[in-house]
Structure 1
Amino acid sequence: MEKTDAVTALAALAQDNRLDVYRLLVQAGPDGMTAGAIAEALELAPNTLTFHFDRLRMAGLVTVRREGRSMIYAARFETMNALVGFLTENCCGGVSCASAPSSKPARKRSKTPA
């Protein structure tokens, strides 16, 4: 993924409603969801949703297909995988991060009677 594509994708997701739409489409899986079902689930007006779909499509994060009278939107997982790969390609200075020690949560102190 090129830097400009990463910026475009991040910018598209940097808005509450678009992020909610994308996350809902990820949950729906490759079959996607109709625009009406998304509008209902997120309580968004259809004309507002159209604007958000356009931004997500232009960023390559979603696809749309027509089935009869319905528009079906689906997440493009390959784009998100490429974005995550771009963001982490130089992670940990090129050393595998999987072997990094995990931090343990701080222990709570118990109250002792005085």
Structure 2
Amino acid sequence: YRELVRAGHEGLPVGELQKHLEIPASTLSHHLSALISAGLISQERQSRTLFCRPCYAQLEQLMAFLTEECCAGGSCSLSPAKTPEETPL
């Protein structure tokens, strides 16, 4: 999803997204289906190319909900997530 958001409103062709992520097509298809079902991305065919685009309005609503609900208890740390290297096992 991050790759699509970074790509902007024009999105990315599915093939290019697969190359960026270096995952099998079936795995990508599974994850894209979940993002489509959640309303976080849309797909549009242009000729023979299938483009995936982020749905920014839905993303903004999700972020607002999470901020409101998760930060309602008082202290809220909106710092960036830790990388796997920074996370102890």
Question: Which interval holds the TM-score relative to the shorter structure?
Answer: 0.7 to 0.9
In 2, the alpha carbon distance for the partners of 1:53 and 1:31 equals 16
Aligned to 1:64, the other structure's residue is in SS state strand
TM-score normalized by the length of structure 1: 0.59
Q: Which runs of 4+ in 1 moved over 4 A?
A: 90-93
In 2, the alpha carbon distance for the partners of 1:44 and 1:83 equals 26
TM-score normalized by the length of structure 2: 0.74
> How far 1:86 sits from its partner (Å)?
1.0
Is the aligned partner of 1:31 residue 2:10? yes
Shift of the 87–37 alpha-carbon distance from structure 1 to 2, 3 Å rule, reads same
Aligned to 2:23, the other structure's residue is in SS state coil
> How far 1:45 sits from its partner (Å)?
1.2
> Paired residue for 1:51, among 30, 33, 40?
30
Larger Rg: 1
Aligned to 1:68: 47
In 1, the alpha carbon distance for the partners of 2:59 and 2:49 equals 25
Shift of the 41–82 alpha-carbon distance from structure 1 to 2, 3 Å rule, reads same
Identify unmatched segments of 5+ residues in structure 1: 1-21, 94-114
Aligned to 1:89: 68
Q: Superposition RMSD on alpha carbons, in Å?
A: 1.7
